[in-house]
Chain A
Amino acid sequence: MTLWLYLHFKHLQLDSLTLSHKGEPVVIVNGSSNRVVQVCTLAKQSGITVGMGLASAACLSEHLQVVAYDAQAEQTRLQEIAQWLYLATADISLFPPDGILLKVSNMLSLYQDLATYWQHIQAHLSHLELNYHYATGYSALAARLLARGRVDIITDDAALLQSSINGFDLLQTDLSEQICEQLKRVRISKLSQLLCIPVSELAKRFDIELVHYVGRLQGQLKYPLIFYVPEEQFSRHLTLLFELENLQWLTKPMAKLLKQLELFLQQRNKLAQQVLLTLQLRDAEPVSIQVAISSGESRAHAWQSLIELKLSNISLNAPIQAITISADYLLDNQYANNELFQSQQGQSEIPALIAKLQAKLGGRCVQGVAVDSDHRPERAFHFVDPSHAYIKQKRITGLQRPSMLLPEVIPLQEKVTIYFGPERICTGWWDNQAVARDYYIARNEQGKWLWVYKEPSQQWFVQGIFC
């Protein structure tokens, strides 16, 4: 029989509110029923319990912090826990909103016995600082039942597990109220009583739902499970406990998410090319900030400094409520062999430099060049993003070309002396941008070298300067 381990996170959302809430009691309240669903230790000390109405809870503690229950947030958090656990154990199944099931049997060949396995899982989970209940069981439902009943038992002793299950009341199980009511009428209120009855007998008198449940609880029927598959892309969301108006205060929460990104990338041996930071604002459209390093980067501080540069340029008109960091374009980590003594790191620093410049000045201000094979000077090259891939062109020697071109050709309006020329460029008849020009190098009276051309219409223009 397969052994399962179920983890029940009793106040997941509360544990995820990580920004400093020291010294103040916090409760999570379900918005629709207006009842307290999760209580922190401090709030518990002042007498607040789960299921209490919001009004009574507020009466008990004057500094009470109330946070609305968010099912979506818990779900995402559960995904994150699964992702973290995936490093220690293979088969993980999620039981939203607050449970995770681990398949133990397969992992025992890696970790010698159950005790060692549990030690590893516990140590691994301790990084997340969560409160949880746990139990093993020979069926997924049995483990879930024990964990939710806060039994906290780790054993592979079938008899002991069975006896712990027997004590449960039917109302604590996943059975619907209607079935519990039906069973109550025939004086079955404990699980032990229900399990005494043969399944065939149950099938005759009760719903197929009950038969399935009993079969699955005892491991005779298979419980359908969907196992967790780790995601390929990184995306993390963090709700801030306080609204932030100063962008500099964003550094700490951002660093936390970037650390997670670093870990995510390291575990997969990947590099991120692009990081997207989304700021959720109060009563305003979210703001997205994108930074990129073309060669890829995994270290948190490199991304942090880039994002800070980018943030220094923007101003917000509403306070920030939550932030999301995501990275979609991942690269495999390439290891370059560098010389030990010769500092060859120069070349590898260029992408980081370009990323930094682009983050501060904006992408259009920082440009590389690409050369095209065309004789028309204004079409012989164009500006591109510096990370653009280049096509090698044949180099022509002996050209007399200026080092600077004027952004726009201007008519020649001064007296010049021609020193060299003409060089005729007569091309482009195929794309309706035909040019027929005689180029000369000329010098004006101030000693400035100009690149001028004459058109068939005998008009003269200046196109470049020999700087």
Chain B
Amino acid sequence: MSKIIDLLQHRQWVWQGSSQVLKSSERISTGIPLLDTKLQGGLPKQGMIEIQADSGIGELQIWLSYLQQHPHLIVFINPPGSVNAHHFYHLGFDHKQLLIIKTDSAIDALWAAEQCLKSSGCGNVLLWHNSLSISQAKRLQLASEQGTSTLFLYRPVCEQQFSLPVSLCLQLTGHPQGIAIQVKKQKGGWPQKSFILSLADYWPQLVVKQGEANNVAVFPMPIRYAK
């Protein structure tokens, strides 16, 4: 049996997905060792990364050390709130690195994402978009390959969605110890079972449950004297 496979392989008549595995040089470390090992060395250098997550569980926070690595432009398209530039600046991002786009229509958002991805000046695009068709995803994927840039697509968790042609698809869910991450799809690799990324190393204050510190003075209540 294996003889036949060897023969077929030798003559290049059979094509194996594992030969398409990206080399480690084409991966960029996320800055989180556990995540790197699960993702074969890090995030792909270019392409589309789909993140299915509910808002507010740290789904942007885990990419910050990755985003800090290069000085390219980071574009936020239709973020769920007002991007706290103060936070990003004091983490070490530059003013000029952040660009925020808010569009009235979903089509404009996709257009803007495509333009940013194509431009060589732009490194990472973060797009919050609920419904994306397969053809639109393919188009964005091509644009990101053209501009060697990465698109982070944030979508809410929904089981009924079509699987999009993306380089990497992660599902994040909140967990008492941190974030539960499930690799649903990755190019050149198998889907991974859910694992828990502990936030203890990154947000040490947030894990151990604390009460109110005992050195807090109570606000003095205003006292009114009757005249």
Task: Please list the residues of chain A having a beta carbon within 8 angstroms of any beta carbon in chain B.
Answer: 343, 345-350, 352-354, 356-357, 360-361, 365-371, 377, 380-381, 383, 386, 390, 393, 395-397, 399-407, 417-422, 424, 436, 438, 441, 443, 446-450, 456, 464-467
Report how far A399 CA is from B90 CA in the complex, Å: 8
Pairwise interchain contact B57-A448, C-beta atoms closer than 8 A: yes
**Contact with B212, one of A370, A401, A418, A465 (Cβ below 8 angstroms):** A418
Is B155 an interface position by the 8 A CB rule?
A: no
What are 28 of the A-B contact pairs (CB < 8 Å)?
A: A349-B119, A353-B119, A356-B115, A365-B101, A365-B104, A366-B101, A368-B95, A369-B85, A369-B88, A380-B85, A386-B96, A397-B90, A401-B86, A402-B87, A403-B60, A404-B82, A406-B82, A419-B210, A420-B206, A422-B212, A422-B216, A441-B206, A448-B54, A467-B55, A467-B56, A467-B59, A467-B61, A467-B81
* B56 / chain A contacts, CB cutoff of 8 Å: 447-450, 465-467
Which of A350, A396, A400 is the most central at the interface, judged by chain B CB atoms within 10 Å of its CB? A350
CA distance in complex: A464, B98 (Å): 19
Is B89 on the interface with A (CB-CB < 8 A)? yes
Given contacts A404-B83, A422-B212, contact A386 B99 (CB under 8 A): yes
Question: In the assembled complex, how far is the CB of residue B57 from the closest CB belonging to chain A, in whole angstroms?
Answer: 5
Q: In the assembled complex, which residues on chain B have CB atoms less than 8 Å from the CB atom of A446?
A: 54, 174
In chain B, what residue has the closest Cβ to A465?
B56
Let me know if B89 and A403 touch, CB within 8 A: no
Could you say which of B4-12, B23-31, B72-80 contacts chain A?
B72-80
Contact B61 A466 (CB under 8 A): yes
Within 8 A of A (CB), among B4-56: 54-56
Residues of B82-115 at the interface with A, using a CB-CB cut-off of 8 Å, are: 82-90, 92, 95-96, 98-104, 108, 111-112, 115
A371 to B84 Cα, complex, angstroms: 10
Q: Which residues of B contact A350 (CB under 8 A)?
A: 73, 96, 119, 121-122
- B: which residues have CB within 8 A of A? 54-61, 64, 72-73, 79-90, 92, 95-96, 98-104, 108, 111-112, 115-116, 119-122, 173-176, 203, 205-207, 209-213, 216, 219, 221
Chain B residue numbers with a CB within 8 Å of A397 are 90
Taking the nearest CB of chain B, how far is it from the CB of A106, in angstroms?
49
**Which residues of chain B have C-beta atoms less than 8 A from A464's C-beta?**
81, 84
Q: Which 4 A-B pairs have the closest CB atoms?
A: A447-B174, A404-B81, A448-B56, A369-B85
What B residues does A449 contact at CB under 8 A?
Answer: 56-58, 206
- Nearest CB of A to B127, in Å: 14
Q: A347-B121, A401-B90, A404-B82 are in contact. Are A417 and B209 (CB under 8 A)?
A: yes
Chain A contacts of B79 at CB under 8 A? 404, 467
Cβ-closest chain A residue relative to B108: A361
Given the interface pairs A350-B73, A381-B89, A417-B209, the reply to whether A436 lies near B95 with Cβ below 8 Å is no
Q: Given A371-B95, A377-B84, A401-B87, decide whether A361 and B103 contact each other with a Cβ distance below 8 A.
A: yes
Q: A219 to chain B: closest CB distance in Å?
A: 63
Closest to B73 in A: A350
Residue of chain B at shortest CB distance from A444: B56
- Give A368 to B75 CA distance when docked, in angstroms: 10
Cα distance, A443 to B206, chains bound together (Å): 9
Q: Are A346 and B120 in contact (CB under 8 A)?
A: yes
Are B54 and A361 in contact, CB atoms less than 8 angstroms apart?
no
Tell me the nearest residue of chain A to B222, going by C-beta: A456
B residues near A390, Cβ cutoff 8 Å: 95-96
Partner of B88, one of A403, A441, A448, A466: A403
- B176: nearest chain-A partner, CB-CB: A447
Measured between beta carbons, the chain A residues less than 8 angstroms from B221 are 456
Question: Do the beta carbons of A361 and B101 come within 8 Å of each other?
Answer: yes
Q: Within 8 Å CB of B95, what residues of A?
A: 368-371, 390
CA distance A399 to B203 in the complex (A): 11
| Cβ distance B218 to chain A, nearest Cβ, rounded Å | 9
A349's closest neighbor in chain B, by CB?
A: B121
Bound complex: CA A467 to CA B58 (Å)? 4
| A349-B121, A448-B55 as given contacts; A369 in contact with B206, CB under 8 Å | no
CB-CB under 8 A from B175, the residues of chain A are 447
Complex Cα–Cα for A96 and B149 (A): 58
**In the assembly, what is the distance between CA of A359 and CA of B98, in Å?**
19
